[in-house]
Amino acid sequence: MNERFSADVLDGAAGLTARPGRAEAAAAALTAELPTTETEEWRYSPISEPDFVELLDGLQPALTAPSTDAVARVREASDAVLGRFESIAATVLVVDGFVVDIDVAPGWAAKGLSVEVEENRWINELPVEPTKFDYLHQAFSPGPLVIRSIGQVAVTEPVVVLTHHDRPSTLSCPHLVVEVAEAGELTVIEFQSSAPEAGVQLPITELTANNASRLRYTVVQENGDDHIQIGRQLSSAGGQAALTSGVAAFGGRYLRLRTDSRLVGRGATASLAAAYYGDDQQVHDFRTFQHHEARDTKSDLLFKGTQDDSSGSIYTGLIHIHPDGAGTNAFQTNRNIKLSDDAWAWSVPNLEIENNEVHCSHASTVSPVDDDQRFYLHARGVPPTAADRLIVAGFYDEVLSRIPSEAARGRVRELINTKLDRRSRNQPAEG
């Protein structure tokens, strides 16, 4: 990091409204060191390796809204994604962290769907041990996009958010807030993309499901090859609320996501799922926390990934049952298929239980394609490359079934197939 990130640049930043804490956060970011792998939460992460440090040194923050040309270009590219949906309650375009377009169907606006930028709402609570990236986000994030349902409205059509990182060598800090009112219902599908050149994005997503509400959020990430994303997802579910989060991570050079899921009301449930696939030198880095803070809560986490070439993945997860978490059911499963000898995967599940009336389980596997499944398909005349392709694509079915939108599922299937097509092209011919 450098003087381009000093608090002074905030004075002339047309896109960033003044708010308390910005300058202090910028100053703190400038002096904070990068996290090292000696910290448990950053173990195995390549972020402090020289090529990443070099990239971070050459960055500058996105201080102004993108040009109209850039917005037009991104809008044009988004047509293909939007065309997948039969109906949409609202569409939002976010470029380099700035909300550049909001389009809410008038019917839904009248019924209580609110989509707007709230300049005065930002995360003023830093994590207990803030990292350089937390400070950067606090200093350089524009006003957040806030999507909320007001009253007991069930918004039965999805809100689609298209988040694009456009300018190379910049740092962008998108901030999305989704809040569903008591007994309401809301589905948000986010598609993240970026230019192919290197850039860094620090997205923060806050999901709040109030009592007896239903919140479904899915993010499909297909960033460019050299893109780096270091994100956080903070979710909270109240009494009898049902929260669903789906993550599909396919693009980028390094993608890190920390999810903190809090079940704060009796009977709250959370379904947390992720599908990821790395090839070339990609690294996926997931840190998940399932906090059971109230009675009779249930969380079910399923993260499934594939590692090919010399790519790698890290999964560390913690189920934390708080003293008030009697009657908790908590599940945590991470499964990985390792397709090449040079690929790597760390999978470390953990439990911390402070109440004994609970039912918890965790499972994690890292293994090659199953030999018996292979043999079965080969014995039916399916050639090896095609057989592996079927098995790997089928491996994700369990996660796909948890994504609450056929349009999003369809796109994820395409992304899986794109990865598998590339793999098939790189395999030796079968005689």
Partner 1 sequence: MTERAFTISGLAATVAGNQILNGVDLEIRPGEVHAVMGPNGAGKSTLSHVIMGKPGYEATAGSVTVDGVDLLSLPTWQRAQAGLFLAMQYPTEVPGVSLDDMLSNSFQAAGKSVDGLAEALTAEADRLAFGREFLERALNVDMSGGERKRNETLQLTVLKPKYAILDELDSGLDIDALRVVSRRVEAATNEDGLGVLVITHYNRLLSELKPDQVHVLAGGRIAASGGPELAVELEESGYAGYAESDAA
Site of interaction with partner 1 (CB under 8 A): 371-373, 375-384, 386-387, 390-391, 393-398
Please state the closest distance from residue 401 (CB atom) to partner 1, in A: 9
CA R_g for the chain: 21
Q: Which is nearer to partner 1, 196 or 394 (CB)?
A: 394
Please state the closest distance from residue 384 (CB atom) to partner 1, in A: 7
| Residue type at position 348 | V
Please state the closest distance from residue 153 (CB atom) to partner 1, in A: 35
Q: Rounded to whole angstroms, what are the CA distances from 417 to 162, 250, 323, 411, 414? A: 22, 11, 45, 10, 5
Please report how the helices 22-31 and 132-140 are oriented relative to each other, as an axis angle in degrees rounded to 10.
150
Q: Which is nearer to partner 1, 33 or 425 (CB)?
A: 425
Q: Which is nearer to partner 1, 13 or 369 (CB)?
A: 369
Q: Which is nearer to partner 1, 304 or 320 (CB)?
A: 304
Q: Rounded to whole angstroms, what are the CA distances from 289 to 217, 250, 262? A: 17, 22, 8
Q: Which is nearer to partner 1, 9 or 382 (CB)?
A: 382
CB 338 within 8 A of CB 317: no
CA distance 253 to 280: 9
CB 164 within 8 A of CB 122: no
Contacts of 203 (CB under 8 A, 6+ apart): 163, 173, 174, 175, 176, 192, 229, 231, 232
Q: Which is nearer to partner 1, 326 or 382 (CB)?
A: 382
CB 412 within 8 A of CB 400: yes
The two tokens of residue 80 are 């293909």
Please state the closest distance from residue 410 (CB atom) to partner 1, in A: 15
Please state the closest distance from residue 377 (CB atom) to partner 1, in A: 6
The SS3 of residue 411 is helix
Please state the closest distance from residue 218 (CB atom) to partner 1, in A: 19
Q: Which residue has the tokens 């599922």?
A: 409
Q: Which is nearer to partner 1, 36 or 376 (CB)?
A: 376
Please state the closest distance from residue 273 (CB atom) to partner 1, in A: 14
